Amino acid sequence: MKKYSVIHPEFIRTLEPIKIQQGAPEIVNRMSDAAEKAKVGPMAAVAGAIADLAAEEMEKHGAKVIVVEDGGEVSVRRSVKLDVAIYAGGVPVSGKLGFRILQEDVPLGIGTSSATVGHAESFGSADAATVIAYDAALADAAATAVCNAVVGEDLNESVKKGLRVAQSIEGVRGALILRGKSVGMVGNLPKLIGIK
């Protein structure tokens, strides 16, 4: 990806999907595909794409449990029971709410985007927009799109906007959005659990 971005610097700067050159590296193709589906820039999928590629490599080598986390994005190919907490800064349920991933849930990717936690650029106001998809690259890109859609003074209405965007992205299985005291969920999510 580094060599590709030197020749095509727009690939790392654009905030919208971009046409890539034929023969681009696999990671560039995956990032571009996820960005196209979520209608965001390809860098929104970089951590998820890296997690997916690492998980697939583990699978090739016969790993019994395959869970890769990269910057909050998670790719799960094989698992026993896995509990994943959602961190959303100072909101009341941050770190107290999560998912229980079972073998029947995989393969899956988890992506979270936040306007209030971390260094990533966001145009929305979600404390956490967590997306479950069939792979982490798409979950990552979709989480960015969902977080960007969580806008407006009315917390509940802004969460609903984000959930509608999640439903519109092909390949997204479900989403959970936290903004202040507002929580919204949509789709087919793994079991929601309390984290102690």
Higher pLDDT, 111 or 14: 111
Q: State how far the Cα of 140 lies from the Cα of 22, in Å rounded to an integer.
A: 24
For 65, 76, 111, 117, 172, the CA distances from 147, given in Å and listed in that order, are 30, 22, 11, 12, 14
The total domain count for the chain is 1
Find, among 72, 74, 102, the residue nearest to 87 by Cα.
Answer: 72
The pLDDT of residue 121 is above 70: yes
Q: Could you tell me the CATH number of the domain that includes residue 12?
A: 3.10.520.10
Range 48-80 burial, b when 16+ CB lie within 10 A, else e: bbbbbbbbbebeeeeeeebbbebbbbbbbbebe
Higher pLDDT, 12 or 14: 14
Q: What domain range includes position 20?
A: 2-194
Overall residue count recorded for the chain in this entry: 196
Question: What is the arithmetic mean of pLDDT over 105-128?
Answer: 91
pTM for this model (two decimals): 0.92
Higher pLDDT, 90 or 155: 155
Q: Could you tell me the two tokens for 59? A: 């699978």
Percent of the chain at pLDDT exceeding 70: 97
Q: How confident is the model at residue 15 (pLDDT cuts 50, 70, 90)?
A: confident
Longest Cα–Cα distance in the chain: 50
The string of pLDDT tens digits covering residues 71-93 is 889 999 987 789 999 999 889 89
